């Protein structure tokens, strides 16, 4: 097993709790759905997963605070876990496998650990077979970003190291983006059209998945038009430890109660894209 400290082990235990519920409730016919104050949906699965994960984290690391999408903040606001029980709830509701559990650890205000788990997305084994159940992405400050199949920490040689793919200019870059509706509502529609006209290709892989594609070297830019801190904490560290950068267009993207746009991408190209979008505020 790779070198694991107490916090990493606690995070993995929390991830396993989340995975059981995620798998059991995916495509369940009895999902209960409500609308939040901002109009976005929340399911009983979101609430149950966050409650179970909080219970696990309180037990294992009582000295740390917790910030979650559904229940807000408790305890220490400098040393804390930051979690999103289901990032991509719309995908989860639609039976689309592109959803994930996100967990990050912040110590003294700096991100130190990120865990992302997608139970329904497979990864190719060396022989070309699809492995399951799911994929875990792991990042640790100063130690890099990795992925591995399933939920069990493998030996060091079982980790796949992630690196962004460098490109020289926007004209060579592949851009992916989040919700078009949110691009309009955030006032980014015109500038996003300008950016899209400058790149080699565009895609529509939103939420956590677009940022993971940047870290994996599968695309070069991801524009996420409406996020809060719990949406981006884990993917930010994953991208940065893979050699990428994260930029914010509004301080609200750092706020657990507010929303704003962010961009992740390859150094140089990301800054050029942010200038076209008229924002350049490092996270």
Residue spans of the domains in the chain: they are: 6-161, 170-282
Strands 174-177, 221-227: parallel, antiparallel or unpaired by DSSP? parallel
Q: How far apart are the first and last CA of the chain?
A: 32
Q: Left, alpha or beta for 53 (phi > 0: left; psi -120 to 50: alpha)?
A: alpha
CB 123 within 8 A of CB 130: yes
pLDDT of res. 1:
47
Q: Mean pLDDT per 10-residue run, the chain (283 residues)?
A: 77 96 91 86 95 98 96 93 96 92 96 96 56 86 95 87 97 93 84 93 93 97 92 97 91 71 95 85 50
pLDDT of res. 186:
81
List 246's β-bridge partners, or say none.
264
pLDDT of res. 129:
54
Q: Do domains 6-161 and 170-282 have the same CATH topology?
A: no
- The domain defined by 170-282 folds into D-Maltodextrin-Binding Protein; domain 2 (3.40.190)
Q: What kind and span of H or E run contains 270?
A: helix 269-276
Say which CATH class 6-161 falls into.
Answer: alpha beta
pLDDT of res. 248:
84
């Amino acid at each position: 097993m790779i070198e694991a400290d107490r916090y990493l082990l606690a995070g993995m235990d929390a991830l396993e709790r989340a995975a059981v519920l995620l798998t059991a409730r995916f495509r369940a016919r009895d999902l209960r759905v409500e609308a939040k104050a901002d109009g976005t949906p929340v399911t009983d699965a979101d609430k149950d997963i966050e409650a179970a994960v909080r219970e696990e984290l309180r037990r294992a690391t009582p000295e740390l605070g917790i910030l979650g999408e559904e229940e807000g903040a408790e305890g220490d606001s400098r040393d804390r876990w930051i979690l999103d029980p289901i990032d991509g709830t719309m995908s989860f509701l639609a039976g689309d496998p592109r959803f994930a559990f996100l967990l990050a650890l912040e110590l003294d205000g700096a991100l130190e650990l990120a865990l992302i788990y997608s139970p329904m997305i497979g990864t190719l084994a060396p022989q070309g077979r699809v492995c399951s159940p799911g994929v875990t992405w792991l990042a640790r400050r100063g130690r890099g970003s990795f992925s591995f199949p399933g939920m069990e920490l493998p030996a060091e040689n079982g980790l796949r190291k992630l690196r962004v793919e460098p490109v020289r200019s926007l004209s060579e870059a592949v851009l992916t983006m989040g919700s078009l509706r949110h691009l309009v509502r955030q006032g980014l529609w015109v500038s996003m059209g300008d950016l899209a006209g400058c790149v080699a290709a565009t895609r529509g892989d939103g939420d956590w998945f677009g940022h993971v594609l940047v870290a994996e070297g599968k695309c070069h830019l991801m524009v996420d038009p409406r996020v809060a801190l719990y949406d981006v904490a884990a993917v930010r560290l994953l991208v940065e430890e893979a050699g990428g950068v994260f930029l914010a267009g509004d301080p609200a993207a750092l706020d657990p109660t507010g929303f704003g746009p962010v961009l992740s991408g390859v150094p140089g190209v990301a800054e050029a894209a942010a200038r076209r979008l008229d924002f350049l505020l490092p996270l």
